[in-house]
Amino acid sequence: MKNILSRFGKISLLLALIYFVVGCDDDKEDVAPGLYVMSDEIETFPGDTVLVSGTASNYVGLESVTLSCEQWGIHKVYELGGQKPKVFNYDYQLIVPKNASFEEYLLITIRDVDGRESKKNVLLTYVADMESPIMQTQLPSRIAVDFDAAANKGSWNLNVKFTDDRELKDIRLQIPSMQIDETVKVTGRNGELKRTIDFTTGEFPVTLTITDAGGNETVVTTTVVVMLAEEEDPFEDYPVMWVVNASEKADDYLDGYYAPMTRKGEYQYEGKIYADKANFQIYFTAEKTMDGDLFGVSPYVNSKLMNNNGYVVPVTVAESGYYGVWIDLQAHTYSMWKLEPSATTYTGSLTVSGCGFSDFADWGTPATEMARNGYRYTSTLHQIGSYSSTRQYYAARVSDWGYVLRYWGDATGCGWWEDTTSAGGGVGSYVSDYDGAVQITFDTAILWATIKKVTE
């Protein structure tokens, strides 16, 4: 019989009970069922789940398979006498008691129809909890609360969720300047804390400490900033939003400065950016202009997204790299997360083509391929200022044109897509009378392109 015990996600234990049948000779009839255990020990913990599954076999037929541990209240018997199978597959889900003692044994007993038995003890030991709880609700470093002058207070609605892989113990809320120090007991693997806290004006450091049953802690800090409500310009549920590099000027770009953010729900938008340096700064606009509705963060609270062109400051991206960006205009919040380009992201050769450049005839290609740095491809060309038609451009693999970056655009946004089947399609287009050097950049990780004036 082969018996496999494995704890979900944690424990892999194979119990094999094997009887080798080499014939039906009389001298084999008194042989007890064979029992082979590849591992003599299970490491587990209270509340854990262990799956016992396996296959039993014996040439004279099986009477029963029993798993028992008196201290844990386990006594599972598979009664097989009615069928007397020579082969039996089973699955048994064993739940470790919350009050389980350890250094106990799980007894495996096999009985054949002739009453012969084989037994094996498997040691049940405790595995220490080394994992800290996880705060599921991501709190910004500073939280803005508007002060209501009529009510003479500012109210913060605290609502956090947290989890642990085993068992939670409690969560502690500390706001020293408010003389708040509260510990709330929690059971199970998931917890939630909701509180409405009233403040006067000022800044209030907050500490949340989550502790699990094993004594592991997770500490989260933030600062609640309470101030008179800041004025904000009216805004709409726009069909599309745009994210821009706040450290550069829109006038320096001929195309691609405004990168689209797709509308995901009412007042909610999602986009992608590449931060080429630490402390990269971005704004969000409702149109392809810096003179209209412009969203940034409060100069006092760097987590409060608001619309006030000339008052707000840029959102800062601490580290360089690729990021996903989410904004909620009504909730006045934003979030960012690191993006890791997939292994299939294109990194082969690319050349740019189009019309309105002196480096090659319309729809020709330059003499050299685009220079590549990671997923970013660049080429410096000379734009003809007197070119009368709408300028167009795209990028393609040099060798066989089997990979082409094409452009799409409609009322919901725009973007580039990868044509790998010669499907055909649009190309980027723009109007400009600029005469001089330009740098064209294609990024295959986020499928975006820009054309920028070369002024140095």
Same domain for 25 and 88?
yes
Domain boundary among 286, 314, 338: 338
- Domain presence at residue 165: yes
Q: Cα(271)–Cα(275) distance, rounded to whole angstroms?
A: 13
Same domain for 252 and 295?
yes
Same domain for 96 and 173?
no
Q: Cα(50)–Cα(44) distance, rounded to whole angstroms?
A: 8
Total structural domains within the chain? 4
Largest CA distance in the chain: 104
- Domain presence at residue 343: no
Closest CA to 234 of 333, 330, 334, 331: 330
Can you give the residue range of the structural domain that contains 195? 134-228
3-state DSSP call for residue 294? Answer: strand
- Domain presence at residue 346: no
- Residue 176: phi and psi, rounded to 5, are -55, -45
Nearest 5°: CA angle at 34, between 63 and 104?
Answer: 85
Same domain for 114 and 181?
no
CA distances to 52, 55, 309 from 5, rounded to whole Å, are 4, 11, 63
pLDDT at residue 376, rounded to an integer: 98
Q: Decide: pTM greater than 0.85.
A: no
Q: Digits of tens for pLDDT over the chain (456 positions)?
A: 434 344 433 333 344 443 333 334 445 556 666 665 556 888 888 888 888 777 777 888 889 999 999 999 999 999 998 888 888 887 888 899 988 999 999 998 989 898 888 888 989 999 888 899 999 988 888 888 889 888 999 999 999 999 999 999 999 999 999 999 999 999 999 999 999 999 998 999 999 999 999 899 999 999 998 988 889 999 999 999 999 999 999 999 999 999 999 999 999 999 999 999 999 999 999 999 999 999 999 998 888 899 999 999 999 999 999 999 999 999 888 989 999 999 999 999 999 999 999 999 999 999 899 999 999 999 999 999 999 889 999 999 987 889 999 999 999 999 999 999 988 899 999 999 999 999 999 999 999 999 999 987
- Domain presence at residue 234: no
CATH of the domain at 367: 2.60.40
pLDDT at residue 142, rounded to an integer: 84
Domain boundary among 338, 367, 396: 338
Same domain for 173 and 110?
no
Closest CA to 54 of 19, 7, 16: 16
First to last CA, the chain: 78
Closest CA to 436 of 452, 419, 453: 453
Same domain for 111 and 138?
no
Same domain for 121 and 145?
no
Half-sphere exposure of 122 (CA within 13 A, CB side): 25
Strand order in the sheet with 117-126: 41-44, 117-126, 104-112, 62-69, 74-79
